[in-house]
Amino acid sequence: MYNLMVVHSELSDAEVDRIFRALADATRRDILRRTLVGEASVSALSAAYNMSFAAVQKHVAVLERAGLVTKKPKGRERVVSGNPEAIARARDLLNQYEQIWQARIDQLDALLSED
């Protein structure tokens, strides 16, 4: 009999979708990496990329909707900070999937070892 492990997550399916769609883009991953190291203004972030300020703002908005960054006013600028808790929740979900696949591989290995 095959025993399936159920993935339990603090995240809803919609939240998981938003997080992994946001992380699917290299520019957004880089913005997230930069903002996890230290907060940065949208202006400073846009200077690092060969794209318009508006395009960087859109990338930040996707990350913000996914809960991966927060944006707050600081003077005349908007400062972006990475959200390590959201990364930890996504990592925990991936770890649960890894455990499921490892259990399946172990079961297969046990079946193959019987003969």
The pLDDT value recorded for residue 115 is: 67
Q: What is the CATH number of domain 13-114?
A: 1.10.10.10
Question: What is d(CA 48, CA 57) in angstroms, rounded to the nearest whole number?
Answer: 13
Question: What is d(CA 8, CA 42) in angstroms, rounded to the nearest whole number?
Answer: 35
The pLDDT value recorded for residue 1 is: 36
Question: What is d(CA 58, CA 108) in angstroms, rounded to the nearest whole number?
Answer: 45
Domain regions of the chain by residue span: 13-114
pLDDT values of the chain reduced to their tens digit, one per residue, 115 residues: 344 445 556 778 898 899 999 999 999 999 999 999 999 999 999 999 999 999 999 999 999 999 999 999 999 999 999 999 998 988 998 898 899 999 999 899 888 888 6
Q: Are 45 and 93 in contact (CB under 8 A)?
A: no
If one counts every other C-beta atom within 10 angstroms of the C-beta of residue 92, the result is 13
Which of left, alpha, beta for 75 (phi over 0: left; psi -120 to 50: alpha)?
A: left
